[in-house]
Structure 1
Amino acid sequence: MVRITIDLIRKRSEHNEGEISTLEEITLHQEDIEKIEHIDRWCRELKILLLQYNLISKIENLGMLKKLEYLNLALNNIEVIENLEGLESLKKLDLTVNFIGDLRGVKSLRGNEHLELLILTGNPCTDYEGYREYVIATLPQLKELDMSEITRSERICALQKYARVSDEVVRGYWRYAKIRKEQILSHENREMARITELNEDGTEKHDDDDDERAEKFWKSTSSHTPEDRVAIARENRKNKERKEKKDDYDKTPKYVPKLFNSEGRPFNINQPKVPFRLDDESDREKVILDVAVYKHLDTCFLDVDVQPEYVRVKIKQKILQLTLPCEIMTEKSKVQRSEITGHLVITMPRLNPLKLIECPDVNIKNTTANNKPIKSLMARTVPSRREFLEIGPERDDFDYSKIVENNEMNKNEKKSLERRREVLLKPEEKIPPEDFVDDPNVPPLL
């Protein structure tokens, strides 16, 4: 439900520089307003009030607009003409295409002495027999009815037929009241069937899917009733809100990978998470990149950008970027794709080809005495595998909880070292041969 607020009135009063206390004209059409409120207290100087094409079901809260001359309530859900006695200056009242069935409500307009034009076209009451005569006879101050001028002779005939047409108007309203009651009951049944359904076991099944519910709503039949107009307006507003949320979601900034650091050096990125092989060792003149692109992926979804220091491959807008081990020549680079495996092969010639570490002499043939060719050794680039060196003491050196344990281990190690030293320093005992005879006259060796 849309409410009449100060912000809404200020928005529609830009021609008066947003000042609402001195506002003389305001347009509040096509705002899905369901209730008239606050206007008679905030804008007492109004002379023209346009509220057409809303969902207003009752005329109310307008009695303090003493200067109002033109009131437009066309294309709303009004069923009774009422609460307009306080509009002392009212000259024109437009109630086109509403749901006014009780034509006896025009009697409430007798106090509006300045009312000259009344429009009721498109209301159910206009189908009653004697409708025009009844209104003309009831409101003698009228000069035009439904954009048609009222002549003097027509007024005289209307006064003569007033008693009879009054009965016809009442009977017409009774017939319409029965139809209206059936419309309300049918709408309630359709709403209950639309909101809840029964499962196979007889329990209620609630429809929580907005898209499914909206599809059912627009496929269902509707009629020209106040209830259906309100339901259609609310469904349109829900669709508008869903669309706005979707647009806001689409406008949210998506993740953009950082391709370079602050110094301008390219990062290694593999957004599509595809396997690849960068070969910079098998050929001293070229660097070859083999990307295992999806076999059945159309080539139109691939984009390759070769730069002197890096290569970038876009696979369905996802970036694979690799830093090259050396500077290459972009103008001589080639991109090919295998028709069998679908792999993408990028061949990039080096700007400075690698030199040979050992080159045979020019005057000597490249064969040895055994007529075997001499193998030349190519210079290797810096290995791609990084070697991490351990710097500093071991982790256990600073673990104070193991001081006693380490001390005992050190004592055990010292004892084992001493034993080993004793064994090493002890002279070897020589085993005498079997025919050895110990001579007691020979002194022992010290």
Structure 2
Amino acid sequence: MLTHEGALPPAVDAEIAVPGSANNLFWMLPGPSAFMDKVTSLFTRQRAVAVHLAERMVLGHHLLTDRALAQSHFDGAPPAMLRVHDASQIDCDIAQHLGDGRKHISPSTLAEWNTRSHQQITGQVSPHTFALRPRGAQALKAAWTYLTEFAKALPNSGGNTRLILIRVDNDPTWDSRTLSKSLGDANLDVAFFDGALSVDEMRAYIGMRIALSGRAGNQEDVLSFPMKRLTRSLVGEFAGFDAHFAEGLIRMSDEELLELPRTLGALASRLAVSDTVWRQASNTTVPSDAQVHTLYLWHLASHTGPHQKLAEQELNRRTWCAQLYSLMPWFEQLRHQLIAQLHPLLSAHLESTNGFKVRVNAYNGREFRTAIDDLECNDIASMARGDDPIRPRTTADRAALDLCSRVGRVRNEIAHMRPPQLQEIRDLISSLEAYRAALSRL
């Protein structure tokens, strides 16, 4: 059942958990896949690499590192993944993994470390790759210092070890261009990915995710409100370029999706990021596809300011687009069904005009004649309210006429680029159910 007007949506889990299928699908898309190829190439040709991933939009961070390392394999033991915290001592942690009895391994010593020579001398296989995963400001500073000192020691070194820094957070200033300008070191490469998807990528992602989630449902017949088609369109329009946000939309109930954009605030509270993220980082870096994040629009629309009205209009436009693409084709199918049901009644009502609805232009007296099969639901509804109204003979006829009126109102709003009110959608669904029930009793 739909919630009553003004009722808040039911509370659900506080954080959007992304399933493994979503992570895998994300990295199969052209943009993420191309970035993975880029990182794989960097791992293959460089011994010092820094990778920055935007936490709020990149799905499956671990998949990037694991797959890129697997495709750029070095001789030796498997890569050592080191989580770096503010109190961590990186040189001590690396020394433990190398197993040489030393308590500390400096960046310059690691640069000279050769896993093959070490194995020949000791018989022990040591890791060829160390991946630092800093979490926290001090941890990042320590990891970055160790990496840059390692890179400076690489020229003419006899080692074969590789050091990677994997940064996952929402800092918009730590990107490839900024780092490349500040580095000036050919032995250290950097890569940044904000996780933004193009329009076509997002459509493909949502289509597959909804199919995998089981929300696609069975094919809806013409006498069923196309709820699945509408909710899928709403997810697509509001997801924008953010796959993690799309996951949040997919997890919303049908009732919550129908109440978009009003329920964006409830969805924002379920995401594990603060409101400042949406205010500070709103634009995608997808080439030739600059967009504004939906929650940034919601923030603008929720606060008085010069852009409030424009933000409200854009959110309403997304709702209207979803309704246009999903409901208008269904309205045409339903129109044919209703005319078939009402054809005897309409033929009798229009007998005096030989089965045509006649409209005369009041200004020039020009006559317009519309055959029964070409009538719109609005035409039928107006004939039911005229001076000489259509007189229904059965309960099914009355239900069909009421449904024509409901369809006409909603379709008229959409046709005039206005998203219909939620109550009008509810009334349409109720009228459709009443019509189905009347037909079942025939």
Q: Is TM-score (shorter-chain normalized) higher than 0.5?
A: no
Higher RCO (CA 8 Å, separation ≥ 6 residues): 2
TM-score bracket, shorter-length normalisation = under 0.3
**TM-score normalised over the length of structure 2:** 0.20
Structure of larger gyration radius = 1
More strand as a share of residues? 1
More helix as a share of residues? 2
